């Protein structure tokens, strides 16, 4: 079996799922190997329909790790969607040169930074991720959640605004997974140890990690 993160459709007869790495053209968007997006219409429209208000003038970035699962309708809202709260008015005067040609367009919004999604993250149906948010490895974002703040590794969050529901594992297991970083392994090595990953056997995975180290 050929494990190819650069192909578009991982399931030949199913065009509702695509690997994002091969369809992204925006230089300010990066997506890791085997991360996929599912859409009931056309998942190849992800860059146009799901990454919103990411205007080149602001230079903000979307960085998504490897082995992430992104459900239909998930949105990433960037800084240009904001209206500044440091002004006495939220009206975006700098967008319209008729008011004052010396104003910079980027002064119309508060810049909260990039959106960074770790590895092995599951983003649920129609979840919204706001500018400046960092989502840790292994986290789960509940359906229709609005993520306004950073999410720790292996946390499950939900709601609007999203709040911590629980951690997926105990702290020792989380620490071990963050140390092992199986998502950085060669995909064939991942395949060899898939049973340990899928069964939740952290001891076996740690042993494999130590054994396979050069």
Would you please indicate which residues are annotated as catalytic (active-site) residues?
83
How far CA 55 is from CA of 19, 27, 84, 109, 127, in Å, comes to: 24, 12, 16, 12, 21
Q: Which two tokens stand for residue 85?
A: 């709260």
Question: Residues 21-53, buried b or exposed e (16+ Cβ, 10 A)?
Answer: beebeeebbebbbbbbbbbeeebbebbeebbeb
Of the candidates 139, 209, 143, 147, the one whose C-alpha atom is nearest the C-alpha of residue 180 is 209
DSSP code at position 33: T
DSSP string, 67-107: S-EE-TT-EEE-GGG---SSSS--S-GGG-TTT-TTS-GGG
> Count of CB atoms within 10 A of residue 208's CB?
19
């Amino acid at each position: 079996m050929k494990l190819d993160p650069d192909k578009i459709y991982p399931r030949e007869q199913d065009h509702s799922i695509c690997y994002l790495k091969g369809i992204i053209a925006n230089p300010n968007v990066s997506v890791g190997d085997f991360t996929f997006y599912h859409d009931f219409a056309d998942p190849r429209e992800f860059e146009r329909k799901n990454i919103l208000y990411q205007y080149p003038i602001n230079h903000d970035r979307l960085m998504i790790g490897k082995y992430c699962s992104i459900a239909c309708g998930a949105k990433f809202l960037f800084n240009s969607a904001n209206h500044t709260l440091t002004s006495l008015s939220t009206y975006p005067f700098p967008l319209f040169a008729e008011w004052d040609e010396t104003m910079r367009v980027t002064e119309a919004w508060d810049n909260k930074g990039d959106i960074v999604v770790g590895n092995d993250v599951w983003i649920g149906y129609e979840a919204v991720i706001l500018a400046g948010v960092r989502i840790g490895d292994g986290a789960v974002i509940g359906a229709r959640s609005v993520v306004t703040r950073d999410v720790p590794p292996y946390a499950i969050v939900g709601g609007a605004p999203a709040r911590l529901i629980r951690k997926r594992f105990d702290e020792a297991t989380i620490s071990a997974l963050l140390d092992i970083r199986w998502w950085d392994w060669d995909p064939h090595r991942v395949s060899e140890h898939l049973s340990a990953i899928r069964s939740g056997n952290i001891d076996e995975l740690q042993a494999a990690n130590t054994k396979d180290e050069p």
